[in-house]
Structure 1
Amino acid sequence: MYLFSFFSSSPSRFPHAASFLAVLRRCLFACACLFALSAGTPAAALVLMPSDGLDDAVAFSGTLGMLRDPQDRWSVADVAAETRRGDFEQLEGPLQEGFSRDPVWLRFSLSRAPEAPARWLLRVRPSALNELTLYAPDGQGGFIQTVLGDRRPFAEREIPDHNFVFPIDVPTTASEYFLRLRNDGPPLRAELDFWQPEGFERQRTKDYTVVGLLLGAAVLSICMNLIFMVWLKDSLYGHYALYVLCSAAMTMARQGFMAEWFLDDHPARVAQAVLVVNCISNVVATAFMARIFGFRHHWVPAARFFDLVIVFNTAALLVALTDHHTAIARWVSAGSAASTLFGALFVCYLLIVRRQFQYLLAASAFSVGTVLGLYGLLKLWLGDLVPGARPDRIYMLGSLTHLILLNIAVADRTRRAERNYRVERERAMSIRIEAEQTLESTVVRRTAELARTNVALRDEIAQRGRLETQLLESLDVQRKAVEQQNEFVSMVSHEFRAPLAVIDAAAQSLDISKSGTDPVVKLRTGRIRRSVQRLSMLIENVLTADRFQIEQRALRLEPVDLAALARGLCETFNLPEPARLQLDAHLPIAEIRGDRLLIEIALQNLMHNALKYSPSESCVRVSLRQVGEGVEIDVVDRGAGIAPAERERVFEKYFRAETATAASGSGLGLHLSREIARRHGGDVTLVATGIAGSTFRLVLPTSERVAAAA
């Protein structure tokens, strides 16, 4: 005791006095425990000292027993019975049971040094434990039951923490405690340690500080990458921001912070929420990895395999949203391990075989995360068979390292993009300077050429001016000649009308005289009158064509009775010999509005054309009918027909078909008839032709369409 007092009162004299004092206390208390063992005290008791649980946790080392309950049939009284003591297995480290749904009982003995505090905290990790029940002795042979687990409301926890914390009043004598554990979905792993309340608060503050820094770094990374996405117009940065968000959410879920912060009122959904976040994170991470390494560009089967992984995790997400989520948890973990391993192998192939060294930083980031992730899974599944730190620490370290390196990789991608941009800008600048120099030389050369061209152009302009003056003079001479010609034609036509009228009147007088009964005289007067009529129509056509070409005068619209007009023309053409024109207009024909003189000329030309090319003993039929909003007039002759190649040309000005050479004519009749009909909004068409004759149709519309055409 003197030595104890000496070191406790003079810590400055011996720098390691406190540590030596703690070791000395443990040794003295161990001797006391050995003495107690010989007196019948329970074996393997964990003795808590005053300095324990302040700076570091007190872990179980060889003092923890484990008993499996395959059929979930034992109570605490059953496992505490003397007959069950031999069934407990000694654990040298944390509990590792893997994917097992069977309950597991843990037994441990506790005592404390007299000077140690009575209040201690038992912390059980990880946070993914469905059922935890601590049975502490009540001093009367029974047990006090404390129930925790991620399926119970967070508010029911006496000590609020993302892990499970049981407050225990430890006696100075060794007492036995029992802890019942059970999981439905995640691997069953449990790590127990003890803290004093003061040390636990300090450690808890450190944990939450680390988590806060991690979340702050994640938020900063997300904001920066969203800004890069907007600035650089590259959606990869947005994808990476989503990846960082999912990684942070996955870390919070696995460490139990989701249950503490978001699902404190819905504890039954904690395991399901963790699985949902895991599936979403797998989908985003798989798509991001395939995109950043260009799987589809380098090897399409690798991209398709990752597509299958995305589909699998999407299907698992749908299952995770149901009540069967516990059955899919192990398959999601196995799929994550398989896809991670495949991605690592393919990235190694890109770096080693394909020598795609631009992926080196990203590969380093994913390799650290992959190695630590796989190591954490193996540690979680195999327990102490795999040496190293706790899986949660490995996972936290791997996540943090992975995000830091991946941020560097994405920043390097931005750096390389900026470098490429500068190179391209410099190259564009050099090309621009070279182009400017080339342009200057080209401008000098082209200026000289342009000067020479301007001289030649001025000479050509002067020459063209002279030619234009000569052309205008020639056109003026031609116009005057045409005017004189038209005046001459008009004068001749008008001068012809008076003699023709006299001749026609003389022939008509002779025809009605006593001599007209003579057959010879009658034949000759008929020929005279037909010749006069033909010449009169020729003169009228020439004058009409001249008016169409020179004046283009407006139509003199008035009501026209087509039936009466056609009947009058038939009477004019039917000379005293037997009538050859037969009119068919029995139905009432509506009046139209048009230029009576022009319509009469058009119809007269069609009738005259039909009479001219038909045999003298044959009849020409003229039929009128009302059709819709117009009137159709068909003139049917009995001529030899028109060849197929000439059916459209017969309406050309001055054109005469080969079959029409036997008859005299000017080639103006059909042309003028069509022009007059089209001026009225109608048309003249060849409806049918053949060896039996031809049918020409004159179509004239109603007054509204005539007004629009005029």
Structure 2
Amino acid sequence: MKWLAWCLRVCGLMAAVALHAAHAAPLQLDPRASVDSRGHLRVLRDPEGRLDADEAAAATGWQAMSGAVNAGFTTDTLWVRLEVQRPADAPDRWLLQFNNALLDDVRLYRREPAGAPGHWQLMQRAGEDAGRASWPVDARNVQLPLLLESAEPTALLVRLQTKNAMSTTIGFATPEVYGRAARHEYFWYGLGFGFGFLLIAFHSLFWQMTRDRLSGWYLLYVSIALMVELLTAGIAQQMLAMPVWLSDTALGLCICCAVAIGIRFSAMQLGADVRWPVATRRVQHAVTMLCVVAAALVLGGHNGPAMFAVQSTAMLSIVCLLAAALWLLRRDQGQARAFLLIFGIYYAGVLVSFLRNMGWLPANAWTNSAAALGTLLHMLLMSTRLSRRYDQLRRDKEAAQARVMQMVGRHNDQLEEEVRRRTVDLREEIARRERLEVDLRAALETERRAKQSQLDFVAMVSHEFRTPLAIISTTAQQIARNLDAAREKTLARCMNLRGAVQRMSALVEEYLTADRMDAGHAHFQPRHCERDELMELFEDLAADWPDGRIALRTHALPARLMCDPGLLRVALRNLLVNADRHTPEGGVIGLDVGTDVAGDKAGDASGDGGGTLRIGVHNPGDAIPADEVTRVFEKYFRGRKAAQSPGAGLGLYLVHRIAQLHGGDVRLDSAGEDGRVRFSVALPAGRD
């Protein structure tokens, strides 16, 4: 055992010699990069802050430091001593850098030249107490210019004082190196804070639209966290030239609010307010009261005790929340697991920052950035989780709406049962339409179109049914008032009633035909139609109008055509009705029917070789506006010139759908630029 104790003494002695040698050697500066002073610092505590530079340099009690300056929250003044040496070929202008943006008083002393040995001269001063307008370098943290005239070792003495955490690294760099590093630093700060502000803007808009409770608390949570980071990094102080009394007070109050809001939001996210409402409420009240007391200490200028109290409260709350999450890990549906991942990253960064502020961890690039990095990752993950939650809520809302619609549909079916005997056909169509709407609600765009279709139908019914209903009502009143009127008058009034009913029936039939086609329930029954039957169809259509109104011209009709004559009649009649509506009195509507024969026998009038049956309808009239040309076949679309005439906007739509059922097409060949509007229907004539 003696030899083991002897070895330990030798190792300790060697370590002490190595540490002393490291501190004895001057810090070698590098003009190409920033140089950290770790391992070359000696520190002296001045509890009263009464020593001047000469007294501090001559005092006993200097201690070597292996890392950065890290004394936690303290009211002591710290003196730091080091010796630097630049290369002979290096520039003589340097910057002494401090990474803590919240230092209140930083003073740089330098030993005067030979002739006044032992006397230290104040070279530069900066810090929050001095006011940022007087800083020698405009930066978010302290940068003190240093002129090294010779390449000989130069002794420096630094005096540090702050109400916040005494934790900072001390480094050296040329102005060029600092400029490059500052640009990179501000770029990353800009990205981070830009993301934070975008996050705040997004959740502000979302909260304005939804008034969701969790979203509102998250908005407060992110806003206060971003404000803390802005003040901690010194960005707000630099951009707004904030005085120290305002910046330190604002930072302290923001930290107090951040702890109270953060604990409340964390409990909501974990679901503790639902599982343990009474205990959670009491803990939140206790945390809020402690934060209020800490805020009062901040307003009184006691930042150290306030931050120690509020951060200790935060650490204890974090431990409790993590313990609750671990207990719930296997008892919920993944909420605790998500909490441990999202908040664990943030809590780790806060814990590292707290331990650094207390002086229990060294100050370096990782510990200084731990809170900011943890906050950024936490916000990213939290936003992703909230987005997924909102998406799930949206899906649940849509499912609930679908269930409500199903219930409404069933209720409507029960009500319509009372009039089943008179409205069987109409009720079946409505029921099919409701089932179709429920099925289509899975897609948002389809739902919008179905809703728009319903609105258009209601507008059409309210517009088109008003006139016949008014005729029916007026005529019925006339009959009731004149029961003894002449038979001719009563008969004329009955004809008016019949005409109004026929008009309403035609509108309903037209709508139901279009709706059956949209729903895929159209009774399409194609069969072979002989040439004579086709000719009779076209002649019957032309005979529905007064003589001379329709000019029928046929040539090379096919011997047979596979078609549904009933639907084909509906399509052609709608084309003719549309032409008749827009043709002035005395004008002639052309109905041209012919076959384009495929193959080399194009001139064969028999049409047996197959090809395409073309049916053209053209009429004189005003040109169709250019903005309406692409919409003439849309359902319920009615042009500006057709707004004053009766119709439902379904005629050309039905023509288009019936042509598709027959494997053909309909198109607008001329919009009337030459004085005639031309439509043509093409049907395959050789299909079996």
Change (3 A) 1:319 1:106: closer
The 3-state SS of whatever aligns with 2:128 is: coil
Change (3 A) 1:363 1:435: farther
User: Displacement, 1:440?
Assistant: 4.7
The 3-state SS of whatever aligns with 2:309 is: helix
Which residue does 1:341 correspond to in 2?
319
User: Displacement, 1:174?
Assistant: 0.3
Paired letter, 1:333: Q
Which residue does 1:153 correspond to in 2?
131
| Preserved contact between residue 122 and residue 168 of structure 1 (Cα < 8 Å) | yes
Paired letter, 1:178: L
Which residue does 2:31 correspond to in 1?
50
Aligned 1:519-534 pairs, distance under 5 A = none
Could you report, residue by residue, the CA deviation over 1:570-592 in whole angstroms, capped at 9, with x for unpaired residues? xxxxxxxxxxxxxxxxxxxxxxx
Change (3 A) 1:88 1:318: closer
Which residue does 2:178 correspond to in 1?
200
Distance of 2:211 and 2:295 partners within structure 1: 31
Which residue does 2:49 correspond to in 1?
72
User: Displacement, 1:277?
Assistant: 1.4
Which residue does 1:182 correspond to in 2?
161
The 3-state SS of whatever aligns with 1:177 is: strand
Paired letter, 1:66: V
Which of 290, 293, 307 is the equivalent residue of 1:315? 293
**Residue 407 (1) aligns with residue 386 (2):** no
Change (3 A) 1:355 1:297: same
Distance of 2:320 and 2:41 partners within structure 1: 39
| Preserved contact between residue 231 and residue 237 of structure 2 (Cα < 8 Å) | yes
Which residue does 2:105 correspond to in 1?
131
Paired letter, 1:197: P
Which of 247, 251, 274 is the equivalent residue of 1:274? 251
**Residue 422 (1) aligns with residue 398 (2):** yes
User: Displacement, 1:317?
Assistant: 2.1
User: Displacement, 1:179?
Assistant: 0.9
Distance of 1:363 and 1:220 partners within structure 2: 25
| Preserved contact between residue 76 and residue 178 of structure 1 (Cα < 8 Å) | yes
Q: For this pair of structures, how many residues does the alignment match?
A: 399
The 3-state SS of whatever aligns with 1:328 is: helix
Distance of 1:358 and 1:440 partners within structure 2: 47
The 3-state SS of whatever aligns with 2:110 is: strand
Which residue does 2:351 correspond to in 1?
374
Change (3 A) 1:199 1:255: same
Distance of 1:431 and 1:306 partners within structure 2: 43
Distance of 1:100 and 1:322 partners within structure 2: 16
Which residue does 1:219 correspond to in 2?
197
Paired letter, 1:302: T
User: Displacement, 1:363?
Assistant: 4.5
Paired letter, 2:215: Y
RMSD: 2.9
**Residue 393 (1) aligns with residue 374 (2):** no
Using the aligned pairs only, state the percent identity: 23
Distance of 1:42 and 1:331 partners within structure 2: 36
Change (3 A) 1:181 1:323: closer
Distance of 1:243 and 1:420 partners within structure 2: 26
Which residue does 2:446 correspond to in 1?
none
Which of 66, 71, 91 is the equivalent residue of 1:92? 66
Change (3 A) 1:136 1:268: farther
The 3-state SS of whatever aligns with 1:110 is: strand
Distance of 2:82 and 2:365 partners within structure 1: 23
The 3-state SS of whatever aligns with 2:64 is: strand
Aligned 1:255-266 pairs, distance under 5 A = 255-264=233-242, 266=243
- TM-score normalised per structure 1: 0.52
Distance of 1:420 and 1:262 partners within structure 2: 46
Distance of 2:361 and 2:343 partners within structure 1: 26
Could you report, residue by residue, the CA deviation over 1:562-615 in whole angstroms, capped at 9, with x for unpaired residues? xxxxxxxxxxxxxxxxxxxxxxxxxxxxxxxxxxxxxxxxxxxxxxxxxxxxxx
Change (3 A) 1:133 1:340: same
Which residue does 1:230 correspond to in 2?
208
User: Displacement, 1:313?
Assistant: 1.1
- TM-score normalised per structure 2: 0.54
User: Displacement, 1:355?
Assistant: 1.4
**Residue 285 (1) aligns with residue 262 (2):** yes
Distance of 2:343 and 2:23 partners within structure 1: 50
Paired letter, 2:378: H
Which residue does 2:504 correspond to in 1?
none
Paired letter, 1:396: A
User: Displacement, 1:176?
Assistant: 0.6
| Preserved contact between residue 65 and residue 90 of structure 1 (Cα < 8 Å) | yes
User: Displacement, 1:383?
Assistant: 4.4
Which residue does 1:646 correspond to in 2?
none
The structure with the largest alpha-carbon Rg is 1
User: Displacement, 1:111?
Assistant: 0.9
The 3-state SS of whatever aligns with 2:157 is: strand
**Residue 357 (1) aligns with residue 334 (2):** yes
Runs of at least 5 residues in structure 1 that lack an aligned partner in the other structure: 1-36, 449-710
Distance of 1:58 and 1:200 partners within structure 2: 11
Change (3 A) 1:233 1:63: closer
Change (3 A) 1:207 1:246: same
**Residue 121 (1) aligns with residue 100 (2):** no
| Preserved contact between residue 361 and residue 406 of structure 1 (Cα < 8 Å) | no
Which residue does 1:535 correspond to in 2?
none
User: Displacement, 1:258?
Assistant: 2.9
Which residue does 1:618 correspond to in 2?
none
Distance of 2:315 and 2:23 partners within structure 1: 44
User: Displacement, 1:231?
Assistant: 2.4
Change (3 A) 1:335 1:160: same
Distance of 1:443 and 1:296 partners within structure 2: 53
The 3-state SS of whatever aligns with 2:39 is: coil
Distance of 1:331 and 1:221 partners within structure 2: 30
Distance of 1:364 and 1:408 partners within structure 2: 12
Distance of 2:66 and 2:398 partners within structure 1: 61
User: Displacement, 1:116?
Assistant: 0.9
The 3-state SS of whatever aligns with 2:49 is: coil
User: Displacement, 1:263?
Assistant: 4.6
Distance of 2:218 and 2:207 partners within structure 1: 10
**Residue 329 (1) aligns with residue 307 (2):** yes
Of 439-448 and 247-256, the range deviating more from structure 2: 439-448
Of 234-243 and 217-226, the range deviating more from structure 2: 234-243
User: Displacement, 1:320?
Assistant: 2.3
**Residue 173 (1) aligns with residue 120 (2):** no
Paired letter, 1:374: L
Of 339-348 and 365-374, the range deviating more from structure 2: 339-348
User: Displacement, 1:110?
Assistant: 0.8
